[in-house]
Amino acid sequence: MDLAERIVAAGLEGERVRAEVVEGGEVVEVSDLLVTLSNLAAPELNGTRVIREPGDPAAALAAAREIFRSRGHPFFGIEIEIGRYPAVEAAVRSAGLRRIDASQTLAAPISDLPAELVPVGAEIRHVREEHELDAVRAVEMAAFETPAEIAKGFVGRRMLQDGRVRMFTAWIDGEPVGEASAYLLNDTVGIFGVGVVESARRRGIGAALTLRAARAFDDRTDLAWLSPSDMAQRMYGRLGFRPVSDWEVWAAKG
């Protein structure tokens, strides 16, 4: 399995896990597509990915869209690796979906990553207790402008109970200023939700959180990967992460 294929397999597993650790989340396979729903009122937390190219992509998209509709969601979305499933890409365009986002997935061998360097005055903590989730939610709301009800629903006790998930927070002067989550996905670490509040940015906290998350599962993994924002690409490049694949998100209302 080459690097891009490892990322595809890990990404599918990641979508499963991220739905399963949310109270009320669900995973549905339909017509060679994977539908993963947090069932929260946030389109970015409900999605579809391709397991394998369907025999009838248009019918598969319609079936996945119906799952969203049956759960009361006024939106539908699918994330696709560019060039891997051309018939699905064509069906998405024909179905009238709109391209709303694009990203790159970056990866790095964990053994090649630099040593973790926590900035002076900062502390990285492993989130282990339910009362510590409030700090994660506070950073989530401040760093990503996530509504309070969505943060509370998405960051819950199931994330503490699932052995495939590790959460970390960064603190300065007794206040939470950063967060990151690591997911054990096959033999890789998927790093999600690296966020730092505006007042603590450009101090190396995001890098420290990333490196801590990359090593969250010790020797059970050899590869770390993530899909950063454009703003964070340069930081991850300095850490040694390199582009592996390009992705697009397509969506429709109703």
Tokens of 69: 């509709």
- Kindly tell me if the per-residue pLDDT of 254 is higher than 70: no
Model pLDDT, residue 231? 85
Name the band, by pLDDT with cuts 50, 70 and 90, for residue 219. Answer: confident
Contact 26, 158 (CB under 8 A): no
Per-domain residue ranges for the chain? 3-104+247-253, 109-245
For residue 58, count CB atoms less than 10 angstroms from its CB and return exposed for 0-12, middle for 13-18, buried for 19 or more.
Answer: middle
Model pLDDT, residue 203? 95
* Beta-sheet pairing, 223-226 with 98-109: antiparallel
Nearest CA-CA partner of 80 in 64, 99, 63: 99
Q: Whole-prediction pTM value?
A: 0.95
d(CA 144, CA 123): 21
- Kindly tell me if the per-residue pLDDT of 77 is higher than 60: yes
**pLDDT tens-digit readout, 21-66:** 999 999 999 999 999 999 999 999 999 999 999 999 999 999 999 9
For residue 7, count CB atoms less than 10 angstroms from its CB and return exposed for 0-12, middle for 13-18, buried for 19 or more.
Answer: buried
- Kindly tell me if the per-residue pLDDT of 181 is higher than 60: yes
Mean pLDDT of 212-219: 95
Model pLDDT, residue 218? 87
First to last CA, the chain: 38
- Kindly tell me if the per-residue pLDDT of 234 is higher than 80: yes
Same fold, 3-104+247-253 and 109-245: yes
How many residues comprise the chain? Answer: 254
In the chain, what percentage of residues exceed pLDDT 70?
A: 100
Q: What is the CATH number of domain 109-245?
A: 3.40.630.30
Name the band, by pLDDT with cuts 50, 70 and 90, for residue 253. Answer: confident
- Kindly tell me if the per-residue pLDDT of 67 is higher than 80: yes
Architecture of domain 3-104+247-253: 3-Layer(aba) Sandwich (3.40)
**pLDDT tens-digit readout, 107-138:** 999 999 999 999 999 999 999 999 999 999 99
Contact 28, 39 (CB under 8 A): no
Nearest CA-CA partner of 147 in 71, 75, 42: 42
d(CA 233, CA 228): 6
